[in-house]
Amino acid sequence: MKRIGRQALRRLVRRLAGVRVLVVGDLMLDQFIWGEVERISPEAPVPVVRVMADDARPGGAGNVASNVAALGGRVTICGVVGDDAAGRRLLAALRARGARTDGVVVVPGRETTQKTRIIARHQQVVRFDREVPAVDGAVGRRLRDFVLRARAAADVLVVSDYGKGTIDAEFLHALADVHRRTPFTWLVDPKRGNFAHYRRPTLIKPNREEAAAAAGIDITDTASLHAAGRRLLERWEAGAVLVSRGESGLALFKPGGTVEEFPTVAREVFDVTGAGDTVMATLALGLGAGGSFEEATVLANHAAGVVVGKVGTATVTAAELLAAIGATGEPRARSRGVRRAG
């Protein structure tokens, strides 16, 4: 692979501003309760957390939207929330970050998905989840119709599938059918329940465990990773498959080509919460700004390296991304031959 230099990356970062991204997926409110642990409870062998502060941030697809906005993109978010305090707080937080929320359906009587994390000395003590794992058929049709109308005005569509019911087979089949007739750029962050229904995305980004499950191949080494990537390219009819492998970095597969392996550039890792959302947002903006798959991947790798150095559901700004590109080396992707899938 041709080396991607710092100047090319900096130019790409400066083109991110104004890229129009439509994000659809599972919306949730990420609540963080911060405190200190000074003793063990006399009632049970559990830590006593003395609460010092709390805050709430958009999570799930909302975190993708927050990252798009933080990097200078223009983002519209589409999903479902309940007509409750958490839903109102989530919508207010999204609007405060610059996201358009006219694609969000507010459902009376529904509970907004919430994840509450207790954090003490930068360590997560416990997490509480509140969620309703299904979307009514009429609500699903409203979401689908909105996305099919709005996607024409967007440079990139991101499907952020957290498996909470917003994204279903009917929705994915509709997108694949439209893409077959009128191609557009769309990215998917997949979940197990919909593995059989993803078709024709421009890029799809499973993590290592998801890639193994979707391909039916236990990924234990380079050979099994490559076999899984080739199988997923064919099965999902994807323009590219990007496997995120945590501290091992990213592996990019394209049809009939080579796999490019990108080592992680993270310098300090405090919290990986939401790092995949940052990667998706950066990929979307990079491709929407005219970058290649490789350029967008390198940029997303740098963005992830910044965000894992923060605690909680976090975002990265264009200024931080530029600084990271300047402060780190230029890890050369390792190119390996991949046989044409047959």
What is the secondary structure of 117-156 as a DSSP string?
Answer: EEEETTEEEEEEEE------HHHHHHHHHHHHHHGGG-SE
Q: Which of 30, 84, 271, 277 is catalytic?
A: 277
Q: What percent of the chain has pLDDT over 70?
A: 91
* Whether the predicted pLDDT of 284 surpasses 50: yes
Kindly give the residue spans of alpha helices, DSSP state H, lying in the chain.
6-14, 61-70, 85-96, 137-150, 169-181, 208-215, 222-236, 275-288, 293-307, 318-327
pLDDT digits (tens, 9 = 90+) for 292-305: 999 999 999 999 88
pLDDT of the residue at 266:
56
Distance CA 184, CA 267 (A): 36
At residue 285, the 3 state secondary structure works out as helix
Which pLDDT band, with edges at 50, 70 and 90, does 128 fall under?
Answer: very high
> How open is the CA angle 74-278-98, to the nearest 5 degrees?
30
- Phi-psi region at 194: left, alpha or beta (left = phi > 0; alpha = psi -120 to 50): alpha
pLDDT digits (tens, 9 = 90+) for 52-72: 998 899 999 999 999 999 999
pTM here is 0.89
* Whether the predicted pLDDT of 330 surpasses 60: no
pLDDT digits (tens, 9 = 90+) for 308-321: 877 666 789 999 99
Which pLDDT band, with edges at 50, 70 and 90, does 269 fall under?
Answer: low
Q: Tell me what the mean pLDDT of segment 31-36 comes to.
A: 92
pLDDT digits (tens, 9 = 90+) for 129-170: 998 877 888 999 999 999 999 999 999 999 999 999 999 999
* Whether the predicted pLDDT of 339 surpasses 60: no
Q: What percent of the chain has pLDDT over 90?
A: 75
Which pLDDT band, with edges at 50, 70 and 90, does 272 fall under?
Answer: low
Q: Tell me what the mean pLDDT of segment 3-11 comes to.
A: 86
HSE-up of residue 41 (Cα within 13 Å, Cβ side): 8
pLDDT digits (tens, 9 = 90+) for 194-239: 999 999 999 999 999 999 999 999 999 999 999 999 999 999 999 9
pLDDT of the residue at 332:
46
Q: Tell me what the mean pLDDT of segment 171-175 comes to.
A: 96
Residue 207 DSSP symbol: B
> How open is the CA angle 200-186-112, to the nearest 5 degrees?
115
Q: Tell me what the mean pLDDT of segment 85-114 comes to.
A: 96
Give Cα 163 distance to the centre of its chain: 13
Average pLDDT, the chain: 89
Instruction: Return the residue matching tokens 């047959």.
Output: 342
Task: State the CATH architecture for 6-337.
Answer: 3-Layer(aba) Sandwich (3.40)
Annotated catalytic residue 277: yes
Instruction: Return the residue matching tokens 């990139």.
Output: 156
* Whether the predicted pLDDT of 340 surpasses 70: no
* Whether the predicted pLDDT of 183 surpasses 90: yes
Query: Could you give the maximum distance between any two Cα atoms of the chain, in Å?
Result: 65
Instruction: For helices 208-215 and 222-236, give the axis angle rounded to 10 degrees.
Output: 60
